[in-house]
A = this chain, B = another copy of it.
């Protein structure tokens, strides 16, 4: 059975004249859907902020194994009720891939419990993402590093919990480093944060970046479980007291 992916995008930048629209005329979500589709391994739909319920109805989430998230300047417009809905789903197993400026999205901050603050600079500088966990499935097919000619700088200290796996560390020409590819287990769900993807650069056309996101979706596909994440009172001890 194919993994069912929903690619969510704020989809505001690309509807105005400017760089983002030139690079992603049909939106970042469509570009991501496109390379996911090309693998033949996923069943992909998209959803955007300005749809009813941001396109993330109960029914859509019922049919989502992995949710991909791109947001930037309208984080505050995402309704708390929808954030809670996604949060609950992740804890029950739904995978979540958070891209770039999604570090400050409500859902990511709620799952991390920290400010998710970082240093930043928009100067189109070179980034090189080094593999630091080469046995991780998300790094499969990637060489020593990924090179991106122009990216927004994101720098440490990145206020996140220690990742369960640190797959990539980013080097920026201007002098900073960043934990650019981070895995987190939360509840029965898996989360991957991946730093590249500023809206004014063609990052999601980079083949290595695409490979990482494809790998991440497969990795985040939920492990099937029969038990539930409630807090049961086990009145009868398993063993004689």
Chain A residues at the B interface, C-beta cutoff of 8 Å: 91, 93, 104, 110-115, 117-121, 123, 125-126, 128, 130-137, 139-141, 143-144, 153, 155-159, 161-162, 164-166, 169-177, 179, 184-190, 222-227, 229-235, 237-239, 241
Check B121 against A233 for contact (C-beta < 8 Å): yes
Question: Chain A at the B interface: mostly helix, strand, loop or mixed?
Answer: loop
Determine how close the nearest CB of chain B comes to the CB of A233; give it in whole angstroms: 6
Pairwise interchain contact B123-A237, C-beta atoms closer than 8 A: yes
Q: How many copies does the complex hold?
A: 4
Q: Are A130 and B155 in contact (CB under 8 A)?
A: yes
- Of all chain B residues, the one with the shortest Cβ separation from A219 is B137
Pairs across A and B, CB under 8 Å, 22 listed: A114-B186, A115-B187, A115-B229, A117-B231, A119-B231, A123-B241, A125-B241, A130-B176, A133-B185, A134-B225, A134-B227, A139-B223, A141-B224, A144-B156, A155-B234, A159-B187, A161-B164, A162-B164, A162-B185, A169-B169, A170-B177, A171-B175
Q: In the complex, which residue of chain B has the Cβ closest to the Cβ of A225?
A: B134
How many angstroms between the C-alpha atoms of A226 and B208 in the bound complex?
14
Given A177-B130, A231-B120, check contact A159 B91 (CB 8 Å). yes
- Which residues from B are CB-within-8-Å of A110? 113
Residues of B within 8 A of A144 (CB): 156-157, 227
Given contact pairs A123-B241, A143-B226, A166-B166, A171 touches B161 in the complex (Cβ within 8 A): no
